[in-house]
Chain A
Amino acid sequence: MGSTSADNHGSEGVGRRDLIKRSAALGLVTVPTMSFLAACASGGGGDESNDNTSKGKATKDNPFGAEKGSKLDVVVFKGGYGDDYAKAWEADFGKKLGVTSTHTGTQEITGKLQPRFNAGNPPDIVDDSGAQQIKVDVLNKNGQLLDLAEVLDAPSVDDPSKKVRDTLIAGTLDPGTFEGKVVALNYIYTVWGLWYSGKLFKEKGWEEPKTWADFLAVCQDAKKQGIGGLAHQGKYPYYINVAIMDMIAKKGGLDAMKAIDNLDPKAFVGSDAAQAGVEAIYEVVEKGLLMPGTNGLTHTESQTRWNQYKAAFITCGSWLENEQLKTTPTDFDMKFMPMPLLPDSKLPFEAIRAGAGEPFIIPTKAKNLPAAKEFMRRMLSKEWSTLFAKEANSLTILKDGVDPSVRLRPGTQSTVEASKAAGDNTFRYMYVDWYSEMGAALEAASNELMAKRIQPKEWLKRAQAAVDKQAKDPASKKNHRD
């Protein structure tokens, strides 16, 4: 009665326009910043201990004592490999142990899990992968990750006389090892290199090129016939950067690679291998052998073009076949090959970047630790590893982990052969995991190189600057590889 009718007629009352203006001004302040600031805000709490963890009786088949009827909270990155494999595991886990799983398949690992980690309420087991993964080093620094030694020292499911750790491909635990502790199980065995269509090559009479000169010759011949030479996923310079770094490693050997990982003041500028590697890739650009427009395409766009025979080669890791399942023609005959060799290279042609990817982690604050550990132990059994190869068309870190009776797709089969041929000649950069900021700077420079805006010389300078900047960070002293 009083206020509403009495005051609003006067000229000093708040008019509607003023109100809009003021609220808009307030909005100007709050809207753009708020959503981001809200992300900063903590969930509070997070110190409650998890003594209430379910614990059943330990037996030979169940050494950690996963309790029947308890619940397991599984979060899986649903990217190139999908998440059907995890569902198959969960079903089997429920059948054999009576533990029911709640399944979350998502690409937004950080968005969904960061608040939960902050609040001390994380899931039991997580596939922490993809573009939005929570960096393992960051989680580990904050003591959020379980030391997986217990799982790795448990008896293997297939052969109880062996420890789980002795059934894995050598070196695959390294990327998940921080300060001497294995805190992430990088489950998928990935190889990186070039891919081509067996069908296209047969049609055109091309051979798999062993040297860089042969590679360029195939690209040139392709160009003449109206096909692009090399395609890459330009919108994500990560991919072409892998190719550049691999050329450097193969030319200069493991020393050239380690110089970069160890932030050597001559890692790039003053390194002949680095110069040769980047100049090789730049030759493709300079001679016009890239697939037209590939620099600006996303991974799906460029890979689909390649599936349509618009390019002879594409750079990628071994998730490619599964990622492209729907767009690959049935007679495409996908084939993997190592990066071709420059003259006087220290590593042989067969050498490939290989290693374990897709880190699975168990948070220290998991509610059902026994079941999580048992789940991980079973992931490293031949049965589950085969399930994975079938559902996700990729290999796992389990040695001979695929039942030979299972027929693999051509691309996956060719990666099996390539990794057999490579033997111990595999390499893997560590800076990717150690220094995300330096990695981003390298990728930015590679993007400029591919667009012809900078020359190899400038690329080397920029790369060295990124290394030198990282070396100034006192935290980088802790990482070193021999």
Chain B
Amino acid sequence: MRKGQYRFVAGFLFVPVALYLIFVIWPYIQTFGYSLTDWKGQSQTFKFVGLDNYRALFHDDVFLKAIWHNIQFLVFIPVVTILLGLFFAFMVNAGGRSRAGGVSGVAGSKFYKIVYFFPQVLSLAIVAVLFNAVYRSDGGGMLNGLLIKLGLVDAENPVEWLNEPGFVRWALILVVVWHGVGFYLVLFSAAMQSIPRDIYEAALIDGASRTQSFFRITLPLLWDAVQTAWVYLGIVAMDMFVLVASMTQNMGAYGGGPDHASDVMSTVMMRNFLYFGKSGYACAMGVVMLLLTLVLSVVTLRATRRDRIEF
């Protein structure tokens, strides 16, 4: 590089880096500091307690349970969303009847693409309201109303969907998948469209079936997009705060019920931080969350690394 170029680059970087340091890195450092205290959250008075908060964390059944729930979300949300997204994207782009001389999507694919994207433009708060109406625990709920009409559920005994410890997390996964799949359909579609048609046509001529062309051509050439999707969905799975707090049975504050069956790290942390006034302890949870997400992102990027195929 030419002389003075670094200074030129640094000049441009100064503001964003400074902002990043002030608004991201500095709060992290502060949080770590608070996690070593018995801070109550309402003023600047606290005592230093060393690693007591971290020690207590390993005996906190609710928090340990919450970690497992996040892991469950982490496994199922990306897998289901990506598989569905890939399937729909494939059908929309290359799933149509093979006609002589070309590969195309199923009939009406343009329409589907738009319709599937609809949920993505709704904010999570609205999605929560919507699905509260779907899962409502009496005959006024969409699911219960339907099942009662069909005679599958007794009107005197409707299913309390979000009050079932074995079902509540799946109910939430369903909401996230419904909300997200349209975006990944569009993401994967864009990536698929950049795959040259000739490859598909060559495969067709060689007698490849739709399934074969998906697994042998589409998926390998889409790997980068899938990897990106995985990371984005990982973010969603590690958070889940909005849906849990606004849809599930209340455990004092911020949902998490029944009996902590839907609690995730973020709701447990907020409950301790604000409702129980155990803010120092909650900061320790925050630090653990940070470490877990860090490990996770490294693992994800390592595990999904593949040689890039140039085309």
Distance from A466 Cβ to chain B, minimum over Cβ atoms (Å): 11
Is A326's beta carbon under 8 Å from chain B?
no
Q: Are B259 and A444 in contact (CB under 8 A)?
A: yes
Q: Tell me which of B43, B235, B273 contacts A118 (CB under 8 A).
A: B43
Contacts of B266 in A (CB 8 A): 32, 36
Return A108 CB to nearest CB of chain B, in Å: 11
Least CB distance from B26 to A in Å reads: 7
Partner of B235, one of A32, A37, A296, A443: A32
Contact assessment for A37 and B27 in the assembled complex, using a CB-CB cutoff below 8 Å:
yes
Question: With A and B bound together, what is the CA distance between A287 and B284 in angstroms?
Answer: 46
Q: Which residue on chain A has the smallest CB distance to residue B239?
A: A32
A437 at the binding interface (Cβ < 8 Å):
yes
Q: Which residues of B lie under 8 Å from residue A444 when comparing CB positions? A: 251-252, 257-260
Report whether B231 and A28 are in contact in the complex, using a CB–CB cutoff of 8 Å. Answer: yes
- Do A292 and B42 contact each other (CB < 8 Å), given the known contacts A37-B28, A37-B290? no
Query: Most chain-A Cβ atoms within 10 A of its Cβ — which of B1, B43, B275, B286?
Result: B43
B249–A40 contact, CB under 8 A?
no
Contact A40 B163 (CB under 8 A): no
Which A residues touch B278, using CB under 8 A? 437
Q: Which of B80-88, B110-118, B153-161, B206-214 contacts its partner?
A: B153-161
**B252 with A436: CB separation less than 8 A:** yes
**B163 near A234 (CB under 8 angstroms)?**
yes
Q: Are A21 and B137 in contact (CB under 8 A)?
A: no
Assess whether A171 is interfacial by the CB under 8 Å rule: no
Does the CB pair B43–A46 fall under 8 Å?
yes
- Chain A window 439-450, contacts with chain B (Cβ cutoff 8 Å), 1 for yes, 0 for no: 110011001100
State which of A141-149, A244-252, A256-264 sits at the interface with chain B: A141-149
Residues of A252-303 contacting chain B, CB below 8 A: 288, 291-298, 301
Contacts A21-B224, A32-B289, A293-B138 given; does A443 touch B42 at CB 8 Å: no
B231 touches A27 (CB 8 A): yes
With contact pairs A142-B42, A293-B137, A444-B251 given, residues A25 and B290 touching in the complex (Cβ less than 8 Å): no
User: Considering only CB atoms, which chain A residue lies closest to B260 in the complex?
Assistant: A444
Q: Which of B176-184, B197-205, B294-302 contacts A (4 or more CB under 8 A)?
A: B294-302
Q: Are A41 and B26 in touch, CB under 8 angstroms?
A: yes
The answer for the CA separation of A141 and B277 in the assembled complex, in Å, is: 11
Mark interface residues in B56-81 (1 if CB within 8 Å of A CB, else 0): 00000000000000000000000000
> Using Cβ atoms and an 8 Å threshold, which residues of chain A touch B241?
36
A346 to B234, CA, bound (A): 57
Q: Which of A21, A27, A296, A447 sits near B301, CB closer than 8 Å? A: A21
User: B31 interface residue, CB < 8 Å from A?
Assistant: yes
Chain A residues touching B, majority SS = helix
Give the CA-CA distance A141 to B278 in the complex, in Å: 12
Is there contact, CB below 8 Å, between B252 and A234?
no
**Once the chains bind, are A29 and B34 in contact (CB under 8 Å)?**
no
Give the number of residues in B that approach A within 8 Å (Cβ atoms). Answer: 78
CB pair B42–A139 under 8 Å, yes or no, is: yes
Binds B, one of A127-135, A186-194, A383-391, A408-416: A127-135
Q: Report if B193 contacts A (CB, 8 A).
A: no
A296 contact from B163, B165, B232, B297, Cβ within 8 A: B163
Query: Per-residue 0/1 for A419-437: is the Cβ within 8 Å of any B Cβ (1 yes, 0 no)?
Result: 0000000000000000011
Q: Does B162 contact A (CB under 8 A)?
A: yes
Interface of B is mostly: helix
Interface centre among A3, A235, A238, A293 (most CB of B within 10 A): A293
In the complex, the answer to whether A235 meets B250 with C-beta atoms within 8 Å is yes
A-B contact count (CB 8 A): 202
- In whole angstroms, what is the CA distance A139 to B45 when docked? 11
Tell me whether A234 and B45 are in contact (CB under 8 A).
no
A47, B276: Cα distance in complex, Å = 25
Contacts A33-B286, A36-B286, A443-B250 known; A25 to B139 CB distance under 8 Å? Answer: no
Residue of A nearest to B227 (CB): A21
Most buried by B among A2, A25, A135, A139: A25
Instruction: Name which residue of chain B comes closest to A34, CB basis.
Output: B24
Q: Cα distance A453–B164 when bound, in Å?
A: 10
Whether A40 touches B251, Cβ cut-off 8 Å, given contacts A2-B1, A436-B276, is no
Q: Would you give the shortest CB distance from B238 to chain A, in whole angstroms?
A: 4
Which of B42, B275, B300 has the most chain A CB within a 10 Å cutoff? B42
Q: How far is the CA of A42 from the CA of B282 in the complex (A)?
A: 14
| Residues of A with C-beta under 8 A to B234 | 28
Within 8 Å CB of B156, what residues of A?
288, 292
* Chain B residues, CB < 8 A from A31: 235, 239
A37 with B286, Cβ < 8 A, contacts A32-B239, A301-B136, A451-B258 known: yes
A220: which B residues are within 8 A, CB to CB? none
- B43→A451 contact, CB < 8 A: no
Please report the C-alpha to C-alpha distance between residue A17 and residue B136 in the assembled complex, in whole angstroms.
43
Binding site for A on B (CB under 8 A): 1-2, 5, 8-9, 23-24, 26-28, 30-31, 34, 40-45, 132, 135-141, 144, 155-158, 160-163, 165, 224, 227-228, 231-232, 234-235, 238-239, 241, 249-253, 257-260, 266, 269-271, 273-279, 282-283, 286, 289-290, 293-294, 296-297, 300-301
Complex A-B: 21 CB contacts under 8 Å: A24-B232, A29-B290, A29-B293, A31-B235, A32-B235, A33-B289, A33-B290, A40-B34, A40-B273, A114-B274, A117-B42, A138-B41, A141-B40, A234-B160, A238-B250, A293-B158, A436-B252, A437-B276, A444-B251, A444-B260, A447-B258
A40-B279, A237-B257, A296-B135 given; name 13 further pairs at CB < 8 Å: A2-B2, A3-B5, A21-B231, A29-B293, A33-B293, A37-B286, A42-B30, A117-B43, A288-B156, A296-B136, A437-B276, A440-B276, A443-B252
Q: Nearest 7 pairs between A and B by C-beta?
A: A296-B137, A293-B138, A440-B252, A142-B43, A138-B277, A296-B160, A41-B27
